[in-house]
A and B are shown apart, each in its own frame.
Chain A
Amino acid sequence: MRAAAASMPMGLRTGIFLLSFVGFGTKAGIVPFHLWLPKAHPIAPSPVSALMSAVMLKTAIYGFVRFTFDFLGGGPAWWGYVVLLAGAVTGLLGILYALTEHDMKRLLAYSSVENIGIIYLGLGAALVFMANNAPVWATVALVAALLHALNHSLFKSLLFLGAGAIADATHTLDIEMLGGLLKRMRVTGTVFLIGCCSIIGLPLFNGFVGEWMLFRSFVAGSELPGILSAIVLPLMAGVLALIGGIAAACFAKLYGIAFLGRPRSLDAERAAEVAASMQAAMALLAAACVVIGILPGIVLNPLTVLARELLHTPALPEAVLPIAHTLPWIAACVAVLAIAAAGIRRIKRTVPTWACGLPALNSRMQYSSAAFSKPLRKVFSRVYEADRTVEVLYTQQPYFPKSILYRSVRTTSFEKSLYRPAVDAVVGMASRLRRLQTGNMQVYLLYIFLAVIALLVFMRFA
């Protein structure tokens, strides 16, 4: 196939690129083809959701990489910009939608959309570098994308398994009904925390290494000759930073509301630790996250060999290696200091939470998931186009309502604005074509007769 692709004209190769981009993008979950993701992931059982996010989405990445880098051998720079744009939009929209969710699995599904966006950012950067004849940095960007894919499969499956454990223990996945689970499910809570730290991209966990390499390749984009690439690639670093910042807020919300504080329902209060087999599975994944986070060389070396083979690059520069040497030292430093600092204190007593002198707090006085995400939702309100309804039931005086019902529904929907018009157009055209089917036998014979006449005329003039 490679030989055939090398001899094809540019137009045909562009067509193949675009079609494979849309096809594999739909399977991977690129906006606007991501609609199936938040609907499919939450319904499946948790281990299956884990596999879906971890493996199934990556097969689409594999397909896209195969087609673009292996068969087509890269292309003009605008291919890279298209992929970069798709990655940026997907990453931002994915995490912005995840921020509003309070169903744990839907939140994780949207977060998968965000991470696919980040992977596509890396692939786009690699394409731009290849188009500009910088195979070394193209390799770095490709390794970054593949590494992030690997890391994502580790920490996302960890998070989905954790969600399954929570569902098993509390019979609910609505964050607004949870709380205080860390005290009741110690192991699950700890490994879930490791998963959250990894997905945000905190150092010493595996998510950081992939993002670091992406940042590194974006900064290196400034050395390219073209002005457009020299501006766009470093700006993508800003986009990645924004995505990371909002992801931190989103997962602080998820972990803080679900695992910390007071339980918000009876089910959460009665939660107990899950079976040892479940704990072992999650602990294994968490250990992998931490090990790769501290000693990234383990996976970096094979991935680099792979990427170099794919792109036919000679050797990687020294510039990218420091991270593998620095991280273990940072880990050691942080660990020593943390243990020293933790050893200083002596917890003397446990007291009720300070309630400004009022009687004891109850679980409803804590922040809810919607409250936590409100500031960011307000800042990005144009993205959400929320549909708000407030119903108030009054008693005699307007100042003492009996009940207030507040409903805010996110209405931005690609389904409504993009798919429905397209579907309606196709259906409309089809229903107009239906008029050809009159049901009359003689009309059908007439069609055959007209076709024969047309063929004769056509053969006369061909």
Chain B
Amino acid sequence: MNPAIDLIQSLLLVAIAPLVSGVIARLKAQMQNRRGASVLRPYADLLKLFRKHDMAPDTASWLFRFAPAALFAVTVTAAAFVPVLHASALFGVGGDFILLVYLLAFGRFFLMLGAMDGGSSFGGLGASREALVSALAEAPLLLALTSVAILTHSISVAGIVLFTLQQHPFQLSAVFVFALGALVLVAIAETGRIPVDNPSSHLELTMIHEAMVLEYSGASLALIEWASSIKLTLILALLIGVFAPWGMAAGASLVALALAPLFFALKLAALTIAIAVLESSIAKLRMYQVPDFLGMASALAILAVAFTALMR
């Protein structure tokens, strides 16, 4: 329950987020038989963007200029909910999963509004598609986390991680399998990866997140890009913490705390490889197949919740 370590782990999440995006991009490039850019490229991109001019379209109001700051602030605050090195976080006791999900929804709402402020078709396009995906993804996300919260008798993220950490891997209820399935599907939708959204496409037919940020430039764009990598990293850290937290320091022993980042890095590396393989091997879904995809996640989440009662 050491606030210094909590602060360090939140800053760690924020700092390594661009690295995670860089690693995924490089792995995808290697799988496509290219060399790919350096894994530190996103940092260079952010530095470049922070130095560039920040331009606003003539239709924009103060909301357009404020939205990136709001998105960044909320995402960094959400990153302070997730335990990384030890089973507690800055907003540990009060940081429950409902607040986490709705904080992310806060950022998304302002991004949608900022997109529509540009007054172009792309903004409306991105906002309308994002509205579709987020409206349908919220229910399975909350239901899956509810089933996990019921199983671990705790609604705070730190509490969930602590409970799982204290159990032997083979003591966990099998219902976690369904919650994991549902959360993986929803995580793909929430972070905007293939098959739901293509983060590197700029064609009208295929973009959702990229369409929303088309009008942004300079430091605003840097904040938005950084916020979206922080969101990806924090969702990955959430998955690791909820389903495979072993390796985190349980007490305050220095040895355990020194080893914890290594374990986290290993697990994060495994997840990034999985994401890169997934993105390189399947095609992006058509827009109107995404509700089907999220429907499957909802069904899995409903089954997970039902099983928490049926398999007591």
Contacts and interface: CB of A to CB of B under 8 A. Distances in A.
Contacts, number: 272
A59 interface: no
Given A256-B113, A349-B55, A352-B58, A238 B305 contact: yes
Nearest to B60: A350
B217 to A, nearest CB: 9
Nearest to A379: B291
Given A245-B139, A350-B56, A366-B124, A337 B119 contact: no
Given A252-B131, A345-B54, A215 B120 contact: no
A183 B220 CA distance: 20
Contacts of A396: none
Interface in A204-234: 204, 208, 212, 215-216, 218-219, 222, 227, 230-231, 234
By size class, the interface of chain A is 35 or more
B129 interface: yes
A220 B70 CA distance: 32
Interface stretch (B31-39, B102-110, B259-267, B274-282): B102-110
B109 A338 contact: no
Contact of A248 (B96, B135, B298): B135
A372 interface: yes
A322 B63 contact: no
A189 B102 contact: no
A366 B121 contact: yes
Contacts of A459: none
Interface in A257-308: 257, 259-262
A355 interface: yes
B74 A237 contact: no
Contact of A237 (B55, B70, B146, B214): B146
Nearest to B128: A372
Interface stretch (B147-155, B191-199, B235-243, B246-254): B147-155
B30 to A, nearest CB: 33
Interface stretch (A32-40, A117-125, A326-334): A326-334
Contacts of A230: 308-309
Contacts of A341: 68-69, 72-73, 223
A371 B138 contact: no
B80 interface: yes
A433 interface: no
19 contacts: A189-B61, A197-B106, A231-B305, A245-B134, A253-B128, A253-B131, A326-B95, A330-B91, A338-B72, A341-B69, A342-B65, A344-B223, A350-B57, A353-B58, A354-B215, A365-B120, A366-B121, A375-B132, A379-B136
Interface of A: 180, 182-183, 186, 189, 193, 197, 200-204, 208, 212, 215-216, 218-219, 222, 227, 230-231, 234-235, 237-239, 241-242, 244-246, 248-249, 252-253, 255-257, 259-262, 322-323, 325-326, 329-330, 333-342, 344-355, 361, 363, 365-367, 371-376, 378-379
